[in-house]
């Protein structure tokens, strides 16, 4: 499957299952996915190697596009719950990410002060102090953690940069008490190998990571859209609810979507 790509810098607002009425900010090229991971379930499709690095929209262009949209929404009295960094891959790849976060927070304050600023990130670059500092300026740094073990991390997230699960976990420690962990649970096969992060081994190890990181919230969800790997299954809500119950036993708020 080719996957779905966002064709605009600013898209929506849309009704998000996690964030309510959300206005999307896509910092990545509109013609291709650009990511540090190659997750088997990504709605944007596979991460392909680029012979030429794609260009990123400049911070000034992004600010202008967002301000124009927010001004229009404010004039129409449109409701807005979140301004969300999302789109065609990993937003922290953008070379001006810290500056753009500052711009978005400022524009939010000017136009929709009650809205939250959210970032959907795979946390692969959260070990960069400047990236971490920028993420901590947002209301909802929503950080991916899909695996309990290094083996499942490699099978499920398939990193394209030299980063390990331990690296990600160490990076996530700085978000203790503020960060939101998002986890997609999935079963299936890819290239003949079994992928299942719902096994007792995986869930037990994942719970240990959650207890160590002490996030403000854990978001648990199944596949909801088409995936590039066709041999994947939607995990039943009964299973997700059981995992959520185990998280809540640790004293951590959990939501299942």
Residue 179 placed within a domain: yes
Q: Would you say residue 127 lies in a domain?
A: yes
| Digit-coded pLDDT (tens) for 8-64 | 999 999 998 889 999 999 999 877 788 999 999 998 888 777 544 568 999 999 999
Question: What integer is the mean pLDDT of 182-198?
Answer: 96
The pLDDT of residue 51: 46
Q: Tokens 């991971």 — which residue?
A: 37
Q: Predicted confidence band at 1 (pLDDT cuts at 50, 70, 90)?
A: very low
pLDDT at 72 over 60: yes
Residue 1 lies in a domain: no
pLDDT of residue 48: 77
Specify the pLDDT at position 7: 77
Instruction: Judge whether 2 lies within some domain.
Output: no
Residues 6+ apart with CB under 8 A from 122: 35, 36, 37, 39, 90, 143, 144, 157
Identify the pLDDT of residue 122. Answer: 97
Buried (b) or exposed (e) across 74-87, using 16+ Cβ within 10 A?
A: eeeeeebbbbbbbb
For position 225, what pLDDT does the model report? 84
- For residue 169, pLDDT over 50 is answered with yes
Residue ranges of E strands in 17-162: 20-26, 82-86, 116-121, 140-144
Burial class (CB in 10 A: 0-12, 13-18, 19+), 183: buried
Separation between Cα atoms, residue 122 and residue 126, nearest integer Å: 9
Q: Which residue has the higher pLDDT, 96 or 54?
A: 96
- Residues 92, 119, 99, 27: is their CA dihedral positive or negative? positive
> What is the number of structural domains in the chain?
1
Q: Which pTM was predicted?
A: 0.92
Is 34 or 216 the better-scoring residue by pLDDT?
A: 216
* Structural domain includes residue 5: no
| β-bridge partners, 193 | 190
Structure-block tokens of residue 40:
């088997």
* Beta carbons of 7 and 30 less than 8 angstroms apart: yes
Question: What range does the domain containing 122 cover?
Answer: 10-256
CB within 8 Å of 236: residues ≥ 6 apart:
none
Q: Is the pLDDT of residue 2 over 60?
A: no
Residue 4, in any domain of the structure = no
Q: Is residue 3 part of a domain?
A: no
Tell me the C-alpha to C-alpha distance, in Å, between residue 234 and each of 73, 102, 174, 238: 36, 37, 32, 11
User: Which range, of 45-54, 128-137, 166-175, 241-250, averages the lowest pLDDT?
Assistant: 45-54
What is the spatial distance between Cα 229 and Cα 191, in angstroms, rounded to a whole number? 9
- pLDDT reported for residue 3: 61
**Residue 59 · residue 99 · CB < 8 Å:** yes
The pLDDT assigned to 50 comes to 59
Tell which wins on pLDDT, 49 or 133: 133
Strand extents, DSSP E, 8-88: 10-16, 20-26, 82-86
Whether pLDDT at 203 is above 90 = yes
Instruction: State yes or no: pLDDT of 165 exceeds 90.
Output: yes
- Domain containing residue 43: CATH number: 3.20.20.70
Task: For residue 87, give the nearest of 115, 112, 66 by alpha carbon.
Answer: 66
Alpha-carbon distance of 164 to 168, in angstroms, equals 6
The predicted model gives 103-132 an average pLDDT of 98
For the chain, give the mean pLDDT.
Answer: 94
pLDDT over 50 (residue 132): yes
Q: Is the pLDDT of residue 78 over 90?
A: yes
């Amino acid at each position: 499957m080719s996957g779905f790509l966002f064709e605009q810098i600013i898209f929506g607002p849309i009704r998000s299952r996690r964030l309510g009425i959300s206005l999307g900010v896509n910092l990545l090229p509109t013609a291709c996915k650009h990511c540090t991971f190659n997750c088997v379930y990504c709605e944007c499709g596979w991460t392909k190697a680029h012979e030429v690095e794609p260009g990123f929209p400049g911070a000034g262009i992004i600010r202008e596009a967002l301000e124009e949209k927010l001004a229009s929404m404010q004039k129409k009295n449109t409701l807005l719950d979140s301004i969300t960094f999302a789109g065609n891959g990993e937003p922290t790849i953008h070379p001006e990410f810290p500056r753009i976060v500052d711009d978005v927070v400022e524009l939010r304050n000017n136009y929709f002060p009650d809205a939250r600023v959210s970032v959907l990130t795979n946390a692969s670059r959260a070990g960069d102090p400047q990236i971490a500092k920028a993420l901590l300026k947002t209301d909802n740094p929503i950080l991916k953690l899909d695996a309990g073990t290094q083996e499942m991390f490699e099978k499920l997230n398939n990193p394209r940069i030299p980063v390990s699960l331990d690296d990600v976990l160490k990076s996530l420690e700085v978000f203790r008490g503020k960060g939101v962990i998002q986890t997609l649970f999935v079963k299936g096969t890819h290239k003949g190998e079994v992928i299942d992060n719902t096994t007792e081994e995986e869930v037990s190890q994942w719970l240990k990571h959650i207890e160590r990181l002490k996030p403000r919230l854990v978001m648990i969800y199944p596949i909801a859209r088409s995936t590039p790997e066709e041999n994947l299954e939607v995990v039943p809500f009964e299973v997700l609810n059981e995992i959520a119950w185990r998280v809540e036993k640790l004293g951590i708020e959990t939501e299942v979507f």
